[in-house]
Amino acid sequence: MRGVRKRVALAALAIWASLGAPAMAQTTLRMVSHADIKILDPIWTTALITRNFGYMVFDVLFAKDADLRIQPQMAEGYTLSDDKLTYTIKLRDGLVWSDGQPVTAEDCIASLKRWGARDASGQLLMKATQELKAIDDRSFQIVLKQPFGLVLDALSKVSSNVPFMMPKRIAETDPNKQITEFVGSGPFIFKQDEWKPGEKTVFVKNPKYKPRNEPPSMLAGGKVAKVDRVEWLAIPDANTAANALLTGEIDLIESPPPDLFPLLKAEKAIALFGWNATGSQIVMRFNHIQPPFNNAKIRQAAMYALAQEPMLQAQVGDPEIYKVCNAPFVCGTTYGKEYGDLLIKPDIARARALLKDGGYDGTPVVMLHQTDLQSSNNVQPVAKQQLEAAGFKVNMIDSDWQTVVSRRARKEPADKGGWNIFFTTNITLDSDNPGTNSYAAGSCDKAWFGWPCDPDMEKLRDAFIHSADPAKQKELGLAISDRVMEQAFYAPVGQYKAFGAYRKDRLEGWLAGPVPVVWNISKKN
């Protein structure tokens, strides 16, 4: 064991040396994120590593605190008209972009429009909006066509896609094209000149950032950058990353796999931190526009073929960390309806009957397999085995996560560069609401990757978001849940909690939250 650990430690040192000497700074936080980043536009993609990038560079109008209360962030506050149709939002005084230009209401309007063209909850908000109107440089209005009770929920959305604010010239980029300039008003500045995909991503403290005066609380309050420089290092091998932490070459790992917890716990200088106690949900997404999963019966067959626990055991391992749950909107929540043995115990006979009824012709299903993403890189081989046991033929394509992120956006047939199935994760705080859950949208080309086209679902979601009666809203929310499962929009694979590891002899101030919060972390003297 000692010899293996020494060899892996030497490998970590070799990787570190290959990165080159970092620029000098008073304090540098070196961390390994859950994936390497190649796509930087947090509106164009829902990839969580790009979401994390967004939180480093950009800021939001409203954010949720540790009690899940919605708090002003870039906004100073807001007022709501008596008829519930006009939200007037005023920006905090003195906000500037990292290039020194003032943040204006027009910037925010352009940012909301671009986000609203891509995100499911943003699309709902834009559909309910009559006008976005600037009042002056610091104030603007969201004028609704009819009352829409999820305005602040949408504006404070925690995870992908987050309504990050950008300068107007950047936000006016076609929503279907990626931005190429990364000027934000967040606590850090992206050093594009030092970015080396596959090696490191560098941020420096934004000297022009104006944090709020309140203490930090999850994603709200004062976002104070307490280090001068942050380096995301790409070390895809989990053992090598762990030993780089053990030998002190890095300070933090966002999400090491649970099978390495004993090794990390054995080192007194290292602490494990459950930064996302609310947990994440793994899902299997179908491509609804390409055969065979353009047929609901074939999608249903896949659902009946699957069993969550073997996949969770392969991915997470520790039953103290994972939870079997077939509720699309998360177990234990208001809309967390569960569905008996579906996805819990496979029903191979039912799956085979549905394959026959659906006319499945044996064409291989292309399953994308991200080999470098610790949150969902081990479920695919198990799912492949389960699907094949029911009669599917599965072609599992290995690649890195960023390749999956690019490929899942393609609508071509699977054998021409497209896809049939991929797996991803989302935090439970963004999965528990039927109105804002991106996976549940049935808005055709505007829907999230997989592009379900279901007018009945859209009618249900529209009624849900405009309902003022809690009892009626719950009834509609459960109907949406039923529709997700009946039409197999996606397959919930279960839930798990996220833990990070860090050098407690060096760092302090890591805040709990649904995303890895880097501001407020400081280095000890």
pLDDT, tens only, 298-332: 999 999 999 999 999 999 988 888 999 999 999 98
Task: Report DSSP state, residue 217.
Answer: B
Percent of the chain whose pLDDT exceeds 90: 83
Instruction: List, in sequence order, every residue forming a beta bridge with 443; answer none if it has no partner.
Output: 453
Type of residue found at 241: A
User: How confident is the model over 77-93, as a mean pLDDT?
Assistant: 96
pLDDT of amino acid 277: 77
Quick check: helix, strand or coil at residue 430?
Answer: helix
Greater pLDDT, 10 or 45: 45
Q: Do 179 and 173 form a contact (C-beta atoms < 8 A)?
A: yes
Give pLDDT, residue 491: 98
Chain CA centroid to CA 22, Å: 29
pLDDT, position 430: 81
Asked if pLDDT for residue 122 goes beyond 80, the answer is yes
Pairwise CA distance, residues 465 & 513, whole Å: 26
Overall average pLDDT of the 218-228 stretch: 97
Supply the mean pLDDT for the chain: 93
* Residues 6+ away with beta carbon under 8 Å from 87: 78, 79, 80, 81, 141, 142, 144, 151
Work out the burial of residue 21: count CB atoms within 10 Å of its CB; fewer than 13 is exposed, 13-18 middle, 19 or more buried.
Answer: exposed
The answer, yes or no, to whether residue 348 has pLDDT greater than 70, is yes
pLDDT for 319 equals 86
| DSSP strands (E only) in 240-328 | 252-253, 270-286, 322-323
Least confidently predicted of 22-26, 82-86, 354-358, 447-451: 22-26
Structural contact between residues 142 and 108, judged by C-beta atoms closer than 8 angstroms? no
Give the CA-trace dihedral at 461, 464, 467, 473, to 10 degrees. Answer: 170
Per-residue pLDDT band at 220 (split at 50, 70, 90): very high
pLDDT, position 244: 97
| Three-state SS at 161 | coil
- Mean pLDDT, residues 438-464 taken together: 95
Closest listed residue to residue 506, CA positions, set 484, 495, 521, 487: 521
Q: Where are the alpha helices (DSSP H) in 266-374?
A: 296-305, 308-315, 348-357
pLDDT (0 to 100) of residue 18: 46
Within 8 A by CB and 6+ apart from 250, the residues are: 16, 30, 31, 32, 233, 235, 241, 244
**171-180 per-position pLDDT tens digit:** 999 999 999 9
Nearest to 217 by CA among 68, 95, 326: 68
pLDDT-derived band at 149, boundaries 50, 70, 90: confident
Over residues 21-51, the pLDDT tens digits come to 444 447 999 999 999 999 999 999 999 999 9
Query: Letter for the amino acid at 116?
Result: G
Q: Which residues pair with 131 in a beta bridge?
A: 143
The pLDDT of 462-479, averaged and rounded, is 91
The confidence band for 498, taking pLDDT boundaries of 50, 70 and 90, is confident
Are 492 and 328 within 8 A, CB to CB?
yes
Question: Residues of the chain with pLDDT > 70: what percent?
Answer: 95
Write down the pLDDT at residue 10. 47
The whole-model pTM stands at 0.83
Contacts (Cβ under 8 Å, ≥6 apart) of 522: 27, 226, 227, 507, 508, 509
What ranges in 318-469 are assigned the alpha helix state H?
A: 348-357, 379-389, 401-407, 455-466
In this prediction, residue 347 has a pLDDT band, given cuts at 50, 70 and 90, of very high
Domains and CATH numbers, the chain: 2-38+184-276+501-523 (3.40.190.10), 48-171 (3.90.76.10), 279-497 (3.10.105.10)
Residue 1 has pLDDT above 80, yes or no: no
Compute the distance between CA of residue 161 and CA of residue 48 in angstroms, rounded to an integer: 9
Among candidates 497, 501, 493, which has minimal Cα distance to 322? 497
Over residues 178-197, mean pLDDT: 96
What average pLDDT does this structure show over 451-456? 98
> How far apart are the C-alpha atoms of 73 and 60, rounded to whole Å?
6
Would the pLDDT of 95 be above 90?
yes
- Rounded mean pLDDT of 396-407? 94
Residue 374 confidence (pLDDT): 78
User: What residues contact residue 361 under an 8 Å CB cut-off, 6+ apart?
Assistant: 292
- What's the one-letter identity of residue 200? K
Q: For residue 93, what are the contacts with CB-CB under 8 A and spacing of at least 6?
A: 76, 138
Q: What is the pLDDT of residue 160?
A: 85
**Which of the 8 DSSP states describes residue 31?**
E
* Distance (Å, whole) CA 149 – CA 271: 41
- Helix or strand or coil: residue 288? coil
Torsion of CA 294, 395, 421, 311, to 10 degrees: 130
Task: Kindly tell me if the per-residue pLDDT of 9 is higher than 50.
Answer: no
pLDDT of residue 12: 47
